[in-house]
Amino acid sequence: MANLSVFGAGSWGTAFAHLASSRGHNVCLWCRRPQQARAIATSGRNPDYLEDIPLSPNLLPTGNLAEAAIFAERWVFAVPAQSFRELAGKLRPLAPRNVRVCNLAKGFEITTGKAMSQVCHETLPMAVYSVLSGPCHAEEVVQGLPTAVVVASALFEEAFEWQVLLTGNTFRVYTNEDVTGVEIGGAVKNVVAIAAGITQGMGLGDNAVAALATRGLAEILRLGARLGANPLTLTGLAGVGDLMTTCYSRHSRNFRLGFSVGKGMPPGEALLRLGQVAEGYYTAQALREHADSFGVELPIVEGVFRILHENAAPRDILDELLLRDPKPELSPELLWGGRETGA
């Protein structure tokens, strides 16, 4: 049994805290809004997310950041990627010397183009960092439906400890040492899922969605190769696995955002109606703004950015993608990070 502090009481933070508490661990769930913490303590349910699910009675909710910080030496970050740096900065003076951070966010920082591991090393340099990713919709995890994920850390022993802590009858955790690959797969698939949702919303059929998801994987692989990821990581749970569920499931916020846009709703309105963070919206911007530093051609990501942030017509973007110069499906650059040839 371990003590865990989970920072962020959105859908995934709530589901993770419930999962860990149900495994017998002592879990403190930090809520950004104190009234949310009080409601969970009173009713045993999160009034804002997964409200139909009774949460573990052993779960301790709090709106006090310091209380959550001193509760445990193992911290789980379940806040959006764009909030990671701010939260880590606030927690730094409160961090124990041997703090261990497990990140659940899937994205790149817009202002810097950095992955969450890089942000963590800058803001909490004393922390041992891990990232957990894979096909894990909160709505299914909290119901105890079978789920498999991967946790990656540069230190195998750290990933192994998270695996032991979290693995149960319905939640299976694999380990990996490729932090870069797990982070890239988890982040970029959200942008591809928005594209898949747009395609479905436009009524273009299963062939189009499958083609888009597959070529989206090619973009994930190219970016991963350039940044030093193991390509096999991106064929695993954090890559293909997460891509599949996010591109085809109505639980996916990114898919739902894209679907609304494909139906003709303006992106701003679609985002507002979603009512939750769709990480792909921000990841598309981060990848576009730092494309030169990445040095990889990402036409699907570029198209999604233009639709969401420049109000480009989805039909026009689709035509541009279809009319690109023909290319071989596979090339050495796809896996080994040489000079890029495009999708």
- State the average pLDDT over residues 105-126: 97
Cα–Cα distance between 17 and 59 in angstroms, integer? Answer: 7
Catalytic residue among 106, 189, 263, 327: 189
Residue 163 has pLDDT above 90, yes or no: yes
User: Listing from the earlier edge strand, what are the strands of the sheet with 171-176?
Assistant: 60-62, 26-30, 3-7, 74-77, 100-103, 128-133, 147-153, 171-176
Write down the CATH number for the domain with range 180-336.
1.10.1040.10
Check for a shared fold between 3-177 and 180-336.
Answer: no
- State the average pLDDT over residues 139-146: 95
Quote the tokens at residue 285: 């911007």
Quote the tokens at residue 296: 């990889």
pLDDT tens track for 174-187 = 999 999 999 999 99
pLDDT, position 342 = 44
Closest CA to 222 of 291, 153, 136: 291
What confidence tier does 333 reach under pLDDT thresholds 50, 70, 90?
Answer: low
For a pLDDT cut of 70, what percent of the chain falls above it?
96
Structural domain spans, the chain: 3-177, 180-336
User: Has 327 been annotated as catalytic?
Assistant: no
Write down the CATH number for the domain with range 3-177.
3.40.50.720
Residue 275 has pLDDT above 70, yes or no: yes
If you write DSSP's letter for every residue of 53-108 in order, what string do you get?
SPPPTT-EEES-HHHHHHH-SEEEE-S-GGGHHHHHHHHGGG--TT-EEEE----B
pLDDT, position 331 = 63
What confidence tier does 328 reach under pLDDT thresholds 50, 70, 90?
Answer: confident
pLDDT, position 334 = 61
